[in-house]
Amino acid sequence: MNPELVQSIAESHEKQRRKRSLIKNEIVIEDVPQLRPSTSSESLDISRDPSLRSPSVCCTDISSVTTPSSMLNRIVENEMQCNRRKRIVYTKVPIEGIFSETCKIPFCKEDLTKFDLKSHTSYCRQDASIVMDYVKQLPGIDAMITEDKEHTFRLACYVDGLMSSAWYSWQLGFTDQLVVLWNGTYISMDPVPPTGREPEAMRNFASQEEHFQYTSIIPFEIQKWQELVFPLRYLNLTFEEMALLKALTIYQICYFKYTEEARKESMRQRDMLISALFELCKSNGMNHEDAVERVGELILATAIFIVG
């Protein structure tokens, strides 16, 4: 197993307590229903969505996910659909032909814009809608009660924002040392920006509100660069591995908030996701021993995204 990867993961465990206080600065897990609306002053009420109210309603036939290969296909297609929606929302790409392309990442370098503190907004209703559609396609979600679906949605917002940003940063920004946020804005890490917590840092800000906003965002992005983007680089993930790892991480985190029945369902889905990872590794030419080691690395890597 890659010693640098193990070291990075071990170090991340030691810093989990600090992450707890930082994580809500970018995406607030428990406050997802009160996300900032982009077109309405109403708070986001996910209980209005009929597919979340009724356990029997699902957009597609989730029962078809019965083998590792069908799980892989479902998760990869779901991730690409999520990327297509982000591409429509955050780029100026023409709508024509967007469904005919393989969308492994919603942006290209030309789409990226520099982060601006004054115009920056957190997750809005459009972002929540994209994640909602993603969650509705997760295998096993249709078997859960409303309470468990809502937990899945809240935590999926966190995982999507964090993992997607780390993935984009590695794919698009690593060479230029850029942290790429979920909305296609970037923050340069060359040099690493000040945290805003230095002595007399207030002199650089027009108001306490501006200082608070800065210190609520920038230290978290620095931490993300150091503790998430670099481990992803060491893992050298493929898009398919990333898609499976994202779904696996969601179920790993949600497990601790689920009801007993949902925990059983999440265990079934986690087992299938791990089997899909194993089959993917073998299809990429790995022998049995190498595939086992690779899957072990990927499972271990979920720890860097779990705040607990």
Does residue 236 have a pLDDT over 70? yes
Please tell me which residue, 35 or 86, carries the higher pLDDT value: 86
Q: Which helix (H) or strand (E) holds 167?
A: helix 146-168
Q: Name the β-bridge partners of 114.
A: 186
Q: 1 pLDDT band (50/70/90 cuts)?
A: low
pLDDT at 2: 52
Just give the CATH number of 3-45+67-305: 1.10.565.10
Share of the chain above pLDDT 90, in %: 65
pLDDT at residue 276 tops 90: yes
- In this predicted structure, what is the pLDDT of residue 9? 45
Mean pLDDT of 249-274: 96
Q: How much is the pLDDT for 93?
A: 83
How far does CA 33 lie from the centroid of its chain? Answer: 18
Give the closest residue to 297 by CA, choosing from 251, 240, 236.
236
Give residue 122's pLDDT band: very low, low, confident or very high (50, 70, 90): confident
> CA-to-CA distance for 33 and 160, rounded, in angstroms?
16
Average pLDDT, whole number, for the chain? 82
Strands 178-180 vs 113-114: parallel, antiparallel or unpaired: unpaired
> Rg (Cα) of the chain, in Å, rounded?
19
**Percentage of the chain exceeding pLDDT 70:** 78
Q: How far apart are CA 22 and CA 299, in angstroms?
A: 24
Choose among 226, 78, 67, 251: nearest CA to 159.
Answer: 251
> Over the stretch 124-148, which tens digit does the pLDDT of each residue have?
889 999 999 999 999 999 999 999 9
Degrees to nearest 5, angle at CA 225 with 191 and 122: 105
Q: Is the pLDDT of residue 96 over 90?
A: no
298: pLDDT confidence band, cut at 50, 70 and 90?
very high
pLDDT number for residue 7: 53
Binned at pLDDT 50, 70 and 90, residue 3 comes out as low
Whether residue 198 has pLDDT greater than 70: yes
The pLDDT, as a whole number, for residue 4 is 53
Q: How far apart are CA 293 and CA 273, in angstroms?
A: 16
* Residues 214-236, mean pLDDT to the nearest whole number: 92
Distances (CA, A) of 111 to 55, 68, 90, 123, 178: 39, 35, 8, 19, 14
SS3 113: strand
Lowest mean pLDDT among 82-86, 89-93, 282-286: 89-93
Judged against a pLDDT cut of 90, whether residue 288 lies above it is answered with yes
Residue in 163, 107, 160 with CA at minimum distance from that of residue 129:
160
32 vs 176: which has the higher pLDDT:
176
Tell me how far apart the alpha carbons of residues 152 and 48 are, in angstroms, rounded to a whole number.
16
Cα–Cα distance list, 254 to 15, 28, 154 (Å)? 21, 15, 9
